[in-house]
Amino acid sequence: MRSRREFLVLAAGTVASPVIANASARQRRIGWLTAQQPGSLTSYLEAMRQGLAEQRLVEGQNLEILYRYGNDDMARMPELARDLIAAGAELLVVQGAAIPQVIHLNLPVPIIFVTSADPIAAGFARSLTEPIGNCTGVTFMGFEFLGKRLELLKEIMPVLNYVTVLGNPFHPGSEIELTSSESAGRRLGIAVDFIATPTRDSLEAARATLARTRPNAISLLPDGFAMAYRRTIMEIAGELRIPITSGWPAFAQAGALCTYGPRLPLIYRRVAHFVARILNGTRAADLPVERPSQFELVLNQATARSFNLAFSRAILARADEVIE
């Protein structure tokens, strides 16, 4: 469905680059690198291809994309990055957990990163307008999401007064996310605490803590680890009868009560803008890092019913997607 809310992109507008005329004149070659498995990013890759086609960069015609997947083996990232360079990639699009492994290799080509982390805290940029080295990219992270999620929970659960934030403390930006959650909690009259869950073992420890503290709800910080273990997290919350809110639709599809955050396919589509500009000769470091421009609210009706909760007409009217 169409987004009902639009926010300004930090960087320059979305007008098509002059690369359209130049890039289509000859075959170009770029690399795609991720530590994940192929099936986990299929829809997002398709969104990126659509964006490239809008820039008249069409895979199989004037563009070749070389794909490398780590299959969850982080140690292979430097090897795979160098393999893409040897195969003639003019630039690399590097996704997720692979970025820190690659960005400091001093590779001879530009890097476009796609990250859920705060690029400044991660060391990818001094500021959003000052990427470090020969790189730039997009981030999913927006600290304003945290307060909005708590506001939604309070609207759905008026008796809400205690929320546990569950997240990976090693995910760059998580400290700011926690601070934002605590600030929103004070404004809304909600006590907020934090349980660190960077490993599978820590999830089991969290189960015991949650059973003892009994928060009204969980605010799950989205990152690669939470995605990989989302079903385990939903099972724990389901057993303890604690509803969850988070940031990406995949969590609502796995059983979270609601999610509010960036429209991820649009972010991957936006990567094409960077590809086109760089292939046309713009330095990566001259392109500001971009934050999300459009957001979406996803509600899970089945989960709401299982907790004897009901979404008001006002919330349903604001939803971009309702999972029945």
Average pLDDT over residues 52-76: 95
Average pLDDT over residues 286-296: 94
* 19-140+263-294 and 144-261+296-323 share one fold: yes
Specify the fold of 144-261+296-323.
Answer: Rossmann fold (3.40.50)
Residue 145 has what pLDDT?
Answer: 87
| Domain boundaries defined on the chain | 19-140+263-294, 144-261+296-323
Residue 2 has what pLDDT?
Answer: 37
| Order of strands across the sheet that contains 258-262 | 191-196, 162-167, 217-220, 244-246, 258-262, 295-300, 321-323
Q: Considering the domain 19-140+263-294 in this protein, what is its CATH number? A: 3.40.50.2300
User: Residue 64 above 60 pLDDT?
Assistant: yes
pLDDT class for 25, splitting at 50, 70, 90? low
User: Residue 21 above 80 pLDDT?
Assistant: no
Whether the model pTM is above 0.75: yes
Average pLDDT over residues 42-62: 96
